[in-house]
Each structure stands twice: as structure tokens, then as C-alpha cells.
Chain A
């Protein structure tokens, strides 16, 4: 699918239908708050509508959305930190339709609690099934750095989950 100039309304609605939940989920793991996640996801789609992008296929769309969403979330987190808004502590956790099972909820909490740069690699590697090299290319980081970050992220997840009484 190729899109040039600004996307037409009909095209955009189909595009939004395909990706809105994915983008929301990604943003939610960064922002933790549902409202912030929605705001961030909206901004990603605003970028799609106001920019002139050419997507060659659905995979391309998803890659673009992933990288854009990650960058936007990080920017927002930085601005929250700067403004001392309290950013992403648990007090701001929304009422969200969280996973029913205790186990899933704890895993998600563990993922959300990872530092953003580790969350990137976990998301892309485990959820998007990219290889280490692909993650490195997407995030413009050396593959060795990504591998180290993967190792750190796994260790952190294990510690968090074990500390919470779960076996990693």
C-alpha cells in the first residue's frame, strides 16, 4: 500500500482500524496511564494524517508506527519529567481493562516498569518478533548494544517477577 501526500479520509479510517489497538497497547506500556496512552496514540495518528508518508505494505506501516510511537512516548515522558508532573508513577495508573489473570497483570507491570530503552527492545523482540539485528536497525543502535539491553531487560524482568513471588 502506498500513500503519498496526505492520506485520504477513507484510507485513514482503514489504516486506523488496522492499527489503533496495537498503537494504544504500545503507548500504554510506556505511558502506563490510559489517558496518556490514548493521547500519545492519537498523536501518532495525527502524524500520519498531517505528514506525507509512503507506506509500501502493512509491515512497513507497523514498523513506522512502532518507531514513531516509541519516540513520541519517550518525548512525552521526558517532558513530563521536565515539568515534574509526576509522570508515570503508580498513582497515575488508570482504571484500565487490565488482564484478568494475576500472572499476566504482573508480567505487564514488570514490562511497564522497565526503563524505556529496555522496554523498546523487549517490545520489538518479544512482541513484534524482530531479530536482534532488526531491533538494532529500527532503533538505530548497535546490535551488540541491543543484545546487552536484552540481557539487562531479561534480568530485570526476572528480578521483578521473582520479587513479586512469580517464577521467571
Chain B
């Protein structure tokens, strides 16, 4: 232990707290601990209060929110549901072929009756005729010279007669006029000819490679 160390130690050891410092400090320590504990409790209180007020708020917020959702549902969804029913009805009246907008049904003539009535005729050289009619339209598939054709026919009401189709929808659909009421379309998979006659919208199509002239020939044989 060198002299410096002795002097430093001695100097520090000479530090004596004032009279009563020990008790005063102890009392202050206990007070500070109490204060700290109280502060900790107080720090937790706002959280508890927040949770309580949140829970209390939820007691009325949730029912109000539920009512709001129900009202909103009634206001927004019900009209849509009702109009949806109307739309469904319209859609049922006008299925698949968008360009037709035909009112199927009312003037529908059952396939067998129609075919029997002579409103159309299959080509003389057609073979393997199969009726593929459904509730909306008359349909046949048949074969001519090895090529398969599908024929469909739907009735048109008065407002959907030839003029409207000729001037608007059919031409917009990139059809090439063949005759006054007939158009030929080059589809991705073959040719289709659509014609209007006797209040019916008819079509014949081939998808297995018949060329344009052959499809026109079949069409002419069915006119």
C-alpha cells in the first residue's frame, strides 16, 4: 500500500455523514419507495381505466354497430336482391346468343312441329341429322360431304325483326352480308351464317374445316 493510496483511503474514510443522516436517509428511502409504488399503481390505473372505458363503450358500440350493419344491409342488399331477381328473369328470357336479344318462348315453335311445318329444310344431301333442340331454340346437327354442321333457329318478336339486326348488331359483329337478310361470319373455328326469315333468326355453322363456299352452299340449300 503506497503513500498515495493511504492518503486517498484516509481522506475518504474521514467522510462522515451529518448527524441523523442515517435515519433521515432511511426514512427518505421508504418514502421514495412508497412514492414509486404509488406511481407504478397510478401508471397502471389509466390502462385499467382505458380497458374499463373501452369495455363500457363496447356495451353500446357493438349493438349500434350491429344495427347499423343490419340497416345498411337492408338498404343496400335488399334492393339489389329484388332487382337481381328481375335481372335473372330478364336473363332467363335472353340467354346465350347476345346478338339475338330474342324473346324465346312466347313464339317458340317446338322443333318437331317447326321442322314438320316446312319452315326450314335440311339439305337434301344431309346425313345423320340429330335434333339438339332445347327449351329455347330449335337445333339440329347434321353432316354434308363429311363436314358437320349445327343449325339453330329462334323466334324473334316484332321489335327484333330483321331491320334492327341488319343495321346494327349483326354488322357490328363483323358479319359480311350475303343477301339482304343473311350474313356470313368468319369465326375462330370456322364459318357461321346467320339469316332471318319468317320471324326466325337462324344460324348454321361448321367447325371442322368446311370452307366458306361449302358453308354457303349448305345455307342456300336450307333457305
Residues of A within 8 A of B (CB): 13, 16, 20-21, 24-25, 28-29, 34, 38-39, 41-43, 45-46, 49-50, 94-101, 103-105, 107-108, 111, 122-123, 126-127, 154, 157, 168
Contacts and interface: CB of A to CB of B under 8 A. Distances in A.
Nearest to B21: A38
Interface stretch (B2-10, B131-139, B140-148): B2-10
Contact of A127 (B9, B16, B17): B9
Q: Which bracket fits the contact residues of B?
A: 20 to 34
A104 B11 CA distance: 5
Contacts of A29: 12, 15
Given A98-B14, A104-B14, A46 B8 contact: no
Contact of B28 (A38, A96, A104): A38
A42 B29 contact: yes
Nearest to A108: B11
B22 interface: yes
Contacts of A168: 4
Contacts of A41: 25
B36 A46 contact: yes
Interface string B125-167: 0000000000000000000000000000000000000000000
Most chain B CB neighbours (cut-off 10 Å) among A16, A97, A122, A157: A97
Nearest to A109: B11
Given A21-B17, A104-B10, A154 B4 contact: yes
A25 B15 contact: yes
A34 B29 contact: no
Chain A interface helix/strand/loop/mixed: helix
A111 B11 CA distance: 9
Contacts, number: 93
Nearest to A110: B11
Contacts of B7: 103-104, 107
A155 to B, nearest CB: 12
A16 B29 contact: yes
A99 B33 contact: no
Q: What 10 A-B pairs are tightest by C-beta distance, nearest first? A: A99-B14, A107-B11, A108-B11, A97-B16, A126-B8, A25-B15, A104-B11, A45-B29, A46-B32, A42-B28
B56 interface: no
B40 to A, nearest CB: 9
Contacts of A154: 4
21 contacts: A13-B26, A16-B29, A20-B22, A20-B26, A24-B15, A24-B21, A25-B13, A25-B15, A29-B12, A38-B21, A42-B25, A42-B29, A45-B29, A46-B32, A46-B33, A96-B16, A98-B15, A99-B10, A101-B14, A104-B11, A157-B4
